[in-house]
Amino acid sequence: MTSAADSLLTEIRSCTLCAGNLPYPPRPIVQIEAQARILIIGQAPGIKAHDSSQPWNDASGDKLRGWLGVNREQFYSPVFTHLPMAFCFPGYKNGADAPPPKICAVTWHAKVQAHLKPALTLYIGRYAQQYYLPEHKTLTEAVRSTTQSSGNVYSLPHPSGRNNRWQARNPWFEAHSLEVLRHSVAGVIKG
């Protein structure tokens, strides 16, 4: 990374903007690689990612890697930047992870993305889609629209078990969209 990007990453890792609103001490979890070819914008780290300080280090990450057709080594390599909507674990609400506080994306995303030139951007989950792709009124519309276009932007449901029902109601996602996505990811990784 450039010295400016390194400085930004240091600043992000010491961020305490949400300290008073989090159930745990702030622990920003991002992976920013200036040379990354694939940008993943997810929701927020879960408790396992918080505990390990590694993004997507849980069952959702395993499922996402399967969707993308990559292994752990590839997923955590400099090919990928992991930029969640909120950098710290937001705690729980109603039996699930709480929504990501918007202050992270508002404060940091444009600064980080100024250092990136990804060939492929993936918006994982509804929070990322609502922020970046507000023209799509539903998760289904966002996923269907972006995965049918075979472009450089894809929307995906969050890979948590909470979305198994959505996947069952939308078999086209697994039957067609994941094949298109894997092909795009493989092409970017091969260069």
Residues 57-110: pLDDT tens digits?
999 999 999 999 999 999 999 999 999 999 999 999 998 899 999 999 999 999
| pLDDT value of residue 3 | 84
- CATH number for the domain including 184? 3.40.470.10
Contact between 65 and 11 (Cβ < 8 Å): no
pLDDT value at 127 more than 70: yes
28 pLDDT exceeds 80?
A: yes
Q: Copy the structure tokens of residue 32.
A: 């920013």
Q: Which runs of E-coded beta strand occur in the chain?
A: 38-41, 80-82, 92-93, 96-97, 120-124, 153-156
Specify the long-range contacts of residues 74-80, CB closer than 8 Å, at least 24 apart: 74/189, 76/31, 78/33, 78/35, 78/36, 79/33, 79/36, 79/37, 79/38, 79/188, 79/189, 80/31, 80/33, 80/36, 80/37, 80/38, 80/39, 80/40
State residue 33's pLDDT score: 93
pLDDT computed for residue 151 by the predictor:
79
Boundaries of domain holding 94: 3-190
Instruction: Tally the domains of the chain.
Output: 1
Total-model pTM = 0.95
Q: Of 69, 74, 71, 4, nearest to 36 (Cα)?
A: 74
Of residues 191 and 190, which shows the higher confidence score? 190
Output the furthest CA–CA distance in the chain (Å, rounded): 47
